[in-house]
Amino acid sequence: MATVEIRYQVGEAWKGTYDAYAEYSLAAVVKDPQGMGVYRSLRSGNVGHPLTDPGWWFCIIDMSNIANLNNRIAFDEDARARAELEREHAETGRMESEINRNTAEDARARAEAIREHAEDGRAESETNRSNAEDARARAELEREHAEDGRVESEINRSTAENARTRAEETRQLNENNRSNAETERVRQAYADHLLSEELNTHPMRINTTTGTWERWDVENDQYVDTGVMAMASPFATFDVDVATGCLMMTHDATYTGPQFSVDQNTGNLLLTI
């Protein structure tokens, strides 16, 4: 029996004897009507293309050099069995690959779930960090506001203390002035009392010679003349002499008031005070 190379790939499907009116998909496997060869379709939509067309078919097994019919049949059966075995093996590999793919997909899904969970944890941590930062910022703002209030209160307290100090200084000054005024008042009252006693002891008196008032000079401890007449001042009276037409002034000897005279040159009446 001759050695025949069999090329097989995952997805090949045995379709039996070739039918020129049937449509074959990619990797469909058929045998020719004479049973001399096995072919695989190279394209989908393969309809009516002869098995000898290399653009549409690939010869997997060529049994044209096997003369004995029984041998060809046996070889054909053996080839089909090997092809089926390899198909099953390939299917097993495909299934194993699918299992591995599913396993890898499950692992990927678990890894994605873990990543998503970690991302959720990271997002939550970031949210907590952001919230904590916001709380810290608010606390700092409140602290600054409280500090501003404290500084303002301290300024107000200092201003009030300065005002209180000035008020106390003013009060103390007023108290000192009041005390000084009271001391001066007491001193003046005492001085006035002494003066009153001294004046009461030395009352006003009339100078009998001049007829004027004398008062007590406390600085020189003696009476001094005031020049003020103590008695009613003498006065002058005037009348006109009808016979001569002259103005006549009559007064007593103590009269010291204004004096009247006539200018002999002009005839004007002169008043001397």
**28: CB partners within 8 A, 6+ apart:** 12, 13, 15, 40, 41, 46
**252: CB partners within 8 A, 6+ apart:** 234
pTM recorded for the entire structure: 0.31
Is 42 inside a domain boundary?
Answer: yes
Which structural domain range is residue 92 located in? 13-104
Is 75 inside a domain boundary?
Answer: yes
Q: Could you say which of 71, 104, 137 is where a domain stops?
A: 104
By three-state DSSP, how is residue 228 classified? strand
Domain count, the chain: 2
Is 222 inside a domain boundary?
Answer: no
Q: Could you say which of 43, 73, 104 is where a domain stops?
A: 104
Is 112 inside a domain boundary?
Answer: no
Average pLDDT over residues 99-110: 90
Q: Could you say which of 104, 124, 142 is where a domain stops?
A: 104
* Tens digits of residue pLDDT in 131-173: 999 999 999 999 999 999 999 999 999 999 999 999 999 999 9
Check if the beta carbon of residue 63 is closer than 8 Å to that of residue 36: yes
Tell me what pLDDT residue 1 has. Answer: 42
Q: Residue 89 is part of a domain; what is its CATH number?
A: 2.10.10.20
pLDDT confidence tier of residue 5, bands split at 50, 70 and 90: very low
